[in-house]
Chain A
Amino acid sequence: MIAEGLRKRYGGKDGRDGKDGKPALDGFDLTIPKGTVCGLLGPNGAGKTTSVRILSTLLSLDGGRALVGGFDVAEQATEVRRRIGLVGQHAAVDEVLGGRQNLVMFGRLHHLGKRAATTRADELLARFGLADTGSKPVKAYSGGMRRRLDLAVGMILSPEVLFLDEPTVGLDPRGRGEVWQAVRALAGQGTTVLLTTQYLDEADQLATQINVMDHGRVIAEGTPGELKSRIGGDRIEFVVHDRTQVGTAAQAIARVGVTEPVVDPDAGRVGVQVAHGTDALRETVRVLDQAGIDIDDLSLRRPTLDEVFLHLTGRRTTEPEHQGREVNA
């Protein structure tokens, strides 16, 4: 899948354009090798959904060129549609029908014979753990079940390319886990997956390649590990037993780290970025011991993608769920 310099400007009145009336996509480039799970990461309004809608032929583009499965999305839309599966932000399944009825209906619309559609429906129900739902209407499903059915529908033809647009938005942790498991299984079969998400840990968990998006273009690209190492090394964090010693501890640790220590006096927490993880850890223990500071907790960790995003854009992801963690970091 290749996208080169995609541009898209909406009519404007519905507010889907970026801030300040900028186009929703402004020179969007993306290359995903066959069989890769690519995470497209960015805050709300970065243009993630617009890019998915263009690549899945739902939207026309104003400029640039995109090939999906080797076919041009603008010129050969029908060929592209035969090779893709789309799981959008809504669980786009029929709520009145049962799960099996949904799968058979979409199978028929994919031009499977009656028997093939039924067989496939039963296979997919079993595979996504929905076999015992019978003819219960989808309305009565939990959020996670609905999403899994949605994924199953997207998988009816085992498409070459699968688009997942924020597949776990609005799900509880259990539902998310269920969806993640399903996505991993698909990736294991060699499907090329483009996954958009604003949950950074989701991209971390699922994707082998991550593209960070902001203001309608890709601003960084790499494996999760590469992106993390871009902001330089690991982080050491510890919690001081006696809260009054936080200042002293920060001073002592300053020469171990490569940046200014970050201090949270209320929690007694001190964090600092370091160049060589394990050496720095040994050094930390030594200097704290010398200074006579007792610590409750000590950890060495890689930077989170939240930190990567902050580093790349100078902005936080404005994602309430992650705010707590950012304060601690």
Chain B
Amino acid sequence: MTLVAPTPSSGSPGSLRWALADSWTLTVRGVSHWVRNPGPVIFSLAFNVLIVLMFVYLLGGAMRVPGGGDYRDFLMPGMFAMTMLFGIAATTQAVTADVERGITDRFRSMPMSAAAMLAGRAVADMLLSVLTLAVMVVTALAVGWRPYGSTGEFLAALGLILLLRLALVWIGVYLGLALSGAEAITGVQTLEFPVGFLSSAFVATATMPGWLGAIADWNPISSTVTATRRLFGNPGAVGDSWIVEHALPMAVVWPVALLLIFFPLSVAKWRSLRR
């Protein structure tokens, strides 16, 4: 049987139009993975809900919020940021799996741009993050958390959380290209907790030893957590250091800075696969 090969659409394969089309094709691929194989997604959503229940009902009774206020109101903005952090390992794993199975090589042998290929992964992971955040907000409301700010402030807070996630996705992409093997993924997963705990997500940094509290205050996650606490009208958003006072602008500056570092690093790492 002889087949006539189809002709690809005209236009330079490196053009912006094709970059967007390629990213979208790969986004759809990422999403169809979750639809066809929903187990890991359901597990990660359930895990997040479980952590919330643990902190609210098991540990919450012993927690005192500095300056007064309900621990649930204090905790939930921290939890939102924490679930964004938990996504890093999944991103890393997806990128590593493609490299190890040779799929990345196949993409690289095709006339596609590096940024488009990586962006497809990032957009898919952002869509999953929106779902994760939605589940978290519903869970939070169910256990008694309340946002007290305006609708605009509520949406701005969610925007800051997703901005942090976007930066973390690109860290995940970079790690996926830079690392390989199951041990690396376990390493990333293991580091998520200490990085998250060394922030204002679960406890006020004022209760930590001074030097540790200072490090925690400068953790980019803390800036997002403090900023969203302020926007949600939740307690615990006070402190006398510069970084805490400027949490709102820093919740934009940190993720943007991380993006400016890790997006070019990821593309450069991708290119260096040729070496």
Contacts and interface: CB of A to CB of B under 8 A. Distances in A.
Contact of B110 (A88, A93, A110, A189): A110
Contact of B111 (A78, A124, A185): A78
| Secondary structure dominating the interface of B | loop
A58 B273 contact: yes
Interface string A47-91: 000000100111110000000000000000010011011101111
Given A97-B29, A127-B3, A109 B105 contact: no
Nearest to B101: A90
A101 B33 CA distance: 11
B273 to A, nearest CB: 7
B154 to A, nearest CB: 36
A169 to B, nearest CB: 12
Contact of B36 (A84, A97, A106): A97
A59 B275 contact: yes
A110 B9 CA distance: 9
B274 to A, nearest CB: 5
A113 B108 contact: no
Interface in B31-77: 32-33, 36-37
Contact of A109 (B22, B32, B33): B22
Given A57-B109, A96-B33, A127-B1, A109 B25 contact: yes
Contacts of A185: 1
Nearest to B33: A96
A105 B25 contact: yes
A295 B162 CA distance: 83
Nearest to B22: A109
B110 A60 contact: no
Interface stretch (A32-40, A115-123, A255-263, A304-312): A115-123
A22 interface: no
B100 to A, nearest CB: 8
A43 B106 CA distance: 24
B2 interface: yes
Contact of B6 (A81, A106, A116): A116
A101 B107 CA distance: 16
A149 B3 CA distance: 16
A113 B33 contact: no
Interface in B143-198: none
A120 B8 CA distance: 12
Most buried by A among B25, B37, B108, B111: B111
A158 interface: yes
A312 B218 CA distance: 66
A280 interface: no
Contacts of A57: 108-109, 274
A96 B36 contact: yes
Nearest to A104: B25
Contact of B8 (A92, A96, A111): A111
A96 B103 CA distance: 13
Contact of B274 (A59, A84, A93, A96): A59
Contacts of A153: 106
Contacts, number: 106
Contacts of B3: 123-124, 127, 158, 189
A318 B74 CA distance: 66
A171 to B, nearest CB: 16
B33 A58 contact: no
A56 to B, nearest CB: 5
A81 B110 contact: yes
Nearest to B275: A60
B2 A189 contact: yes
A109 B107 CA distance: 9
Contacts of B1: 127, 185
A224 B9 CA distance: 41
Given A92-B106, A97-B36, A112 B6 contact: yes
Contacts of B28: 105
Contacts of A91: 102
Contacts of A56: 109
A138 to B, nearest CB: 11
Nearest to B274: A60
B5 interface: yes
B212 to A, nearest CB: 37
A189 B1 CA distance: 9
Given A88-B102, A96-B37, A111 B274 contact: no
A158 B29 contact: no
B13 interface: yes
B101 A92 contact: yes
Interface of A: 11, 53, 56-60, 78, 81-82, 84-86, 88-97, 101, 105-113, 116-117, 119-120, 123-124, 127, 137, 153, 156-158, 185, 189
Given A86-B105, A88-B105, A108-B21, 13 more contacts: A56-B109, A81-B13, A81-B109, A82-B8, A91-B102, A94-B29, A97-B33, A105-B29, A108-B25, A109-B25, A116-B6, A117-B6, A185-B1
Q: Give me the 3 closest cross-chain CB pairs, A-B, nearest first.
A: A158-B5, A90-B102, A92-B102
23 contacts: A53-B105, A58-B273, A78-B13, A81-B111, A82-B8, A84-B109, A85-B109, A86-B105, A88-B102, A92-B102, A109-B22, A110-B110, A111-B13, A111-B21, A112-B9, A113-B9, A123-B3, A124-B3, A127-B3, A137-B37, A157-B5, A158-B5, A189-B2
